[in-house]
Amino acid sequence: MPETAVQLDVETRQRLLNVAAELFAEHGFNHVTIREICQAAGANLAAVNYHFRDKLGLYKEVVQMAADAMNKFKAEILDTVEPQPPEERLRGYIRLTLHRLLDPHQESWMEKLIARETTDPTPAIDLIIEKGIKPTVERNGRMVGELLGTTLDDPRVWQCFLSVQGQCLFYKMSMPVTLRMAPPGFQYTSEVVDALAEHVYQFSLAGIRALAAQPAPPQMGWRS
Amino acid sequence: MPETAVQLDVETRQRLLNVAAELFAEHGFNHVTIREICQAAGANLAAVNYHFRDKLGLYKEVVQMAADAMNKFKAEILDTVEPQPPEERLRGYIRLTLHRLLDPHQESWMEKLIARETTDPTPAIDLIIEKGIKPTVERNGRMVGELLGTTLDDPRVWQCFLSVQGQCLFYKMSMPVTLRMAPPGFQYTSEVVDALAEHVYQFSLAGIRALAAQPAPPQMGWRS
DNA sequence: ATCGACTTCAAACACCTGTATAAATCATAC
DNA sequence: GTATGATTTATACAGGTGTTTGAAGTCGAT
């Protein structure tokens, strides 16, 4: 059993995964050819088929990476924010999320790929949901629930959370349009993102508080 | 000058446009083949080349249709809503928008196609921006501006508008994921959308009012 | 040094795609 | 009815795609 040979292939395997992640995120599954990936990774054309059976096998593994990264990243944000009081927790969550999403300095292949799968899912979307989204649903809900003064089964919890998350993700997803609508030379600098985050925070906190003052209508929750 | 001949080709031309609109919206530019379109439209393979020069020519014309439809649709909503007092105007805007976006009974190829171009633009995105978005920017801004008690050059106007629009569009764009996260059998029925709209309205109105109480930070506006 | 595994390589295959072309068909105008 | 121009048809082409294959290479264990 020569397991050093595995060492070697791990190298090109990883190289393929890294290159493929960026290319898939940037151009989408169908816009990227195996030949491009292999050339960029300095590997032979047949490498993808050898290591991942086929193009879709490679893609699925890339999505898996993205889901794991997303989970880790969301958990990090929540860890950072959790010791603070509820209001500051929300503010921090929004700020960190937006920076992660919008800062041009951030590696963002993961977000791009997930945005792609969100609006235009492939069979790999289940991976993202199971490993990237569901694990943090509860913690996210608690963050909002505390501000609302209710528990997770209150429908307002996920409605409000979606309103917050929606604003953040919308800025990411509509970036190509926003950049064309904004004045020439506009960029999401750190200061701009900070200001944006502050706006979303103020806006959302007021929204949450307003809804906290109302009775909850009976409605459905989330699958867990 | 045989101009009745034009009549005839208008027919297959229109048939091609209609079929292509749905297919492009559903599967994206690269997932749809000319052969599929022509077969679905009952036209010959060469029909696309004859009537639209090439595949991209057809696509651009479809996007043009979508941009016009979007402009018209947004204008209709604003027309419907404009005579009402500011709060009801916002509520109606959100309700009509969400119904248009989420109701499964609505023809939604236009929204799907625009969502596609928003997150993943082709050269045709400019058409959407120029003919679909920009014409209504000012009216949208006025709607929010009135609630804020400021004018269009106040950066809070478009920030708040984007927060509202962002929530609405987010529900549309993340529909594939939402449907998987929601309980089995969940659908965007008219009642569900109404409830959702009411939430977005309450949430956003509170957000806007909260920001109206603060001084505006100096910042950039929109390209016009 | 040799064996045997794992890995890489170059080439080819089969398929599908957008596009072009020339013949056939159609509807109208004279 | 025939000529004319617009439209449709069938077919062919050139390029690119994912995938396969068998030979060559690599490297550690014996």
- CA B4 to C1' D1 (Å) is 21
What does the pLDDT average to over B200-210? 98
To the question of domain B1-53 being in CATH 2.60.40.3080, the answer is: no
Q: What is the pLDDT of residue A66?
A: 96
Q: For chain A, how far is it from start to end, CA to CA, in angstroms?
A: 42
Q: Which nucleotide is nearest to A37 (CA to C1')?
A: D18
Cross-chain Cβ contact A170/B171 below 8 Å: no
Residues of chain A with pLDDT under 70: 1-10, 216-224
Put simply, whether A136 touches B (Cβ < 8 Å) is: no
Nucleotide D4: closest residue by CA–C1' = B2
Condensed to tens digits (0 to 9), the pLDDT of residues B18-58 reads: 999 999 999 999 999 999 999 999 999 999 999 999 999 99
Domain ranges of chain A: 1-53, 64-212
Whether the pTM exceeds 0.85: the reply is yes
Q: Give the CATH H-level superfamily of domain A64-212.
A: Tetracycline Repressor, domain 2 (1.10.357.10)
| Residue among A190, A222, A220 at smallest CA distance from A105 | A190
Distance CA(A178)–CA(A174), nearest Å, equals 6
Asked whether residue B6, judged by its CB, lies under 7 Å from any atom of the DNA or RNA strand C, the reply is no
Taking residue A44's Cβ as centre, other Cβ atoms within 10 Å add up to 12
Q: Distance, in angstroms, between B172 CA and closest chain A CA?
A: 9
Q: Is the CB of A9 under 7 A from strand C?
A: yes
- Tell me the chain B residues in contact with residue A195 when contact means C-beta distances shorter than 8 Å: 217, 219
Residue B121, chain A, CB below 8 Å: the answer is yes
Cβ contacts of A21 within 8 Å, gap of 6 or more = A62, A65, A66, A109, A110, A113
pLDDT confidence of residue A2: 33
Question: How does residue B1 score in pLDDT terms, banded at 50, 70 and 90?
Answer: very low
CB of A39 nearer than 7 A to strand C: no
CA of A43 to C1' of D27 (A): 19
Judging by beta carbons within 10 Å of its beta carbon (0-12, 13-18, 19+), is residue B8 exposed, middle or buried?
A: exposed
Q: Do domains B1-53 and B64-212 have the same CATH topology?
A: no
> Could you tell me if A217 lies within 8 Å of chain B, comparing CB atoms?
yes
- Binary contact (A174, B118; C-beta < 8 A): yes
The interface residues of chain A toward chain B in range 30-89, judged by CB-CB distance below 8 A, are 30-31
Q: Which of A172, A147, A169, A171 is nearest to A157 (CA)?
A: A147
Whether B210 CB is under 7 Å from strand C = no
pLDDT in tens, B117-167: 998 899 999 999 999 999 999 999 999 999 999 999 999 999 999 999 999
Sequence-ordered list of residues with C-beta below 8 angstroms from that of B154, at least 6 positions apart, any chain: B145, B148, B216
Decide: CB of A76 under 7 A of nucleic strand C: no
Query: Where does the pLDDT of residue B214 fall: very low under 50, low under 70, confident under 90, or very high at 90 and above?
Result: confident
